[in-house]
Amino acid sequence: MELSEAKGLTVGQTWQSEIESNGKKYLRILVKTHFIKEGEDVGQVAVRYLEDIYQPGDCVIVSEKMVANTTGLAIDQSQIHPGWWAKRLYKFVKRTKHGRGIGTPEKMQVAIELAGLWRILLATFVSAITKLFGVKGWFYRVAGDKVRSIDGQSGGPNGPYWTKVILPLPEPNKTASEIAAACGYPVVIADIN
């Protein structure tokens, strides 16, 4: 089964494949869970779905987007009110194969709130200049990691995150440690969906 076929899994089903990294082979097991909502305990969800398949030495990798959603960091776009600058600047964000970036008025407004207007304006200016020389990526370098980590408004119009702007986790390592303590498995939080 190809990874694209894993999308057809039902809740509780798993999909396995072997990958190689740095000359070492790893077995990865994708586990289809229910849609995990705000307030759910990720540690308990991990136990529920993994207790029968977890082996010592395994590492549990959970979606950053899902963890942010459980902790109240998924903000419905109706709660975000883009200002004058956000309504103009978002138009200059180029879509890539990875998605829209901050190319929506709501995400640009959140970027302005996280980094400050002057930093976003500086990032826009630096990006415009460097693009003239074929150099990309400077907007996010100047705007900072918080802006780079804004997620959401993805997955298509029927997806659960289409109308949500996902704020970055303030302390992802601490959050991963808390989840690991709750479930008893080593946990990594990754931007995987």
Based on the domain organization, do 86 and 44 belong to the same domain?
no
Please tell me the distance from the alpha carbon of residue 123 to that of residue 141, in angstroms, as a whole number. Answer: 8
How many structural domains comprise the chain? 2
Based on the domain organization, do 87 and 151 belong to the same domain?
yes
Based on the domain organization, do 179 and 102 belong to the same domain?
no
Based on the domain organization, do 109 and 174 belong to the same domain?
no
Based on the domain organization, do 60 and 82 belong to the same domain?
no
Could you tell me the residue range of the domain that residue 87 belongs to? 76-166
Question: 10 Å Cβ neighbour count for 20?
Answer: 8
Question: 10 Å Cβ neighbour count for 130?
Answer: 16
Dihedral (CA of 36, 41, 44, 50) sign: positive
pLDDT of residue 129: 95
pTM (two decimals): 0.84
Based on the domain organization, do 30 and 59 belong to the same domain?
yes
Based on the domain organization, do 67 and 119 belong to the same domain?
no
Helix crossing, 117-132 with 105-115: angle to 10°? Answer: 110
| pLDDT less than 70: residues of the chain | 1-6, 96-99, 193
Based on the domain organization, do 15 and 85 belong to the same domain?
no
The model's pLDDT over 149-170, given as tens digits with 9 standing for 90+, comes to: 999 888 788 888 889 999 999 9
Based on the domain organization, do 10 and 43 belong to the same domain?
yes
Q: Residue 172 has which token pair?
A: 């992802």
